[in-house]
Structure 1
């Protein structure tokens, strides 16, 4: 069989670029996507094409382009996403709709676009990049947690719906990694005099510290490669620091109020 064809949304930087670079080194034919192709005139690590997951016409154009050039599409990695922080009460609702459009509706648009081709060719793999934050409601990251949690549940349902077609779908949930996500994140401004002013500011500082001191995104890339090589992928894969991964186990086994107390202590709330 010819080498596998991989499409990665959000492939121009961060985790997406790391995944694309690593898979290219392993002999895959990789297409990454970006909303602004003109910003990367010298990008030559792998194929980079235009796509905005919020615009259905660009989703169709990009998927059709890959299929017309390669004749197949073996792996979709739904990586494009955005961060959002802020008190639930003070977050503008248009920003809530925007983050759900990017982090949930966008991946769903991508999956709908590639499923007919994967069915036609008798199989394929979809890896949805969710987040460890999607397994719990985190203070001042509630909307982000909600988008990633929702994508995880969609994945659980869709992998059962498509199993008979030979299509495999899985979630890969990273913890904190050193990427530029903080710079592209929408965050509600800390408002002087707000009821949340002090606790939100301290939580925001802590979040930024975690991202800045996060692990190397190559760990995520290696995990993606391992999943591609797996005949029967699991439903969920966490990847990150030990304490971030163990938090998922604690969420399952601890009483809910005790687990909540651990989070409150962690965020100094």
Structure 2
């Protein structure tokens, strides 16, 4: 019997690439979108789900269980980017980011855990970010929301292990997706104390996404994790330098690492 997979944010980018890859591998894939009726080229079912709305999450999970009778794998992929000087990002936008990147995945996990306990099996893969391992300038909120998801997943993994359920984190680096177009950019304010440095950093970030890796690399990595009999706690998927930056944070003195980041972002 093919495994039943739920992917949040499955209509574009990494989520779509994962869904298509797993569909072709014979998995029963359900993707989600806030507006699935606008998507005409999906090769797997797209259910209506907004991770900021707990009722829509419960309804989508109930629909999958009604149709397929189980949920074997959940991929918490839905997420949004946000950039800007922390001082100039509206507080409402900070809260919106955490609603999508942190509280949303928690609600998804709460919705599927009862079914996975009944099955005595299940795998939840939380898509975080390499940016969640470090505080990056002008990406403070994004780093914080993804870092929070990393830590809560570590704790939950221990809480549910005895039920036969596994939690794992996959932290991607920069991939060529439309995340830059969909993220909230704090505007460049003429005369702002951050105008020049934020402008330079924003251009660097957009360049990294444009030149990012193919999302199919993430899809292949997710497939291998699903096939693994004992998934690890953390996975990092990205360029050598992106993954090595995490190692450097562990071994370099804090100020030296900070200096390296500031030079990278031309600050």
- State the Cα distance separating 1:248 from its structure 2 match: 0.8
Q: Which among 116, 125, 129 is matched to residue 127 of structure 2? A: 129
Determine the structure 2 residue equivalent to 1:225.
223
1:174 aligned onto 2:200: no
- State the Cα distance separating 1:43 from its structure 2 match: 2.8
1:15 aligned onto 2:9: no
TM-score between the two structures when normalised by the length of structure 1:
0.99
SS of 1:49's partner is strand
1:114 aligned onto 2:144: no
SS of 1:105's partner is helix
8 A Cα contact 2:36 2:47, kept in partner: yes
Determine the structure 2 residue equivalent to 1:234.
232
Determine the structure 1 residue equivalent to 2:64.
66
Q: Which among 151, 154, 169 is matched to residue 153 of structure 1? A: 151
Distance across 2 between alignment mates of 1:131 and 1:21: 21
Determine the structure 2 residue equivalent to 1:210.
208
Determine the structure 1 residue equivalent to 2:30.
31
Larger helix proportion of the pair? 2
Distance across 1 between alignment mates of 2:134 and 2:175: 18
Distance across 2 between alignment mates of 1:79 and 1:65: 19
Distance across 2 between alignment mates of 1:44 and 1:223: 21
8 A Cα contact 2:49 2:56, kept in partner: yes
TM-score between the two structures when normalised by the length of structure 2:
0.99
Distance across 1 between alignment mates of 2:180 and 2:215: 15
- State the Cα distance separating 1:215 from its structure 2 match: 0.3
RMSD: 0.5
8 A Cα contact 2:11 2:42, kept in partner: no
Distance across 2 between alignment mates of 1:54 and 1:258: 39
Which runs of 5 or more residues in structure 1 are unaligned?
Answer: none
SS of 1:178's partner is coil
TM-superposition CA deviations, 1:139-197 (whole Å, max 9, x none)? 00000000000000000000000000000000000000000001100010000000000
After TM superposition, the structure 1 = structure 2 runs for residues 32-51 of structure 1, keeping only pairs within 5 Å, are 32-40=31-39, 42-51=40-49
- State the Cα distance separating 1:122 from its structure 2 match: 0.7
SS of 2:162's partner is helix
Which runs of 5 or more residues in structure 2 are unaligned?
Answer: none
Regions of 4+ moved over 2 Å: none
- State the Cα distance separating 1:81 from its structure 2 match: 0.4
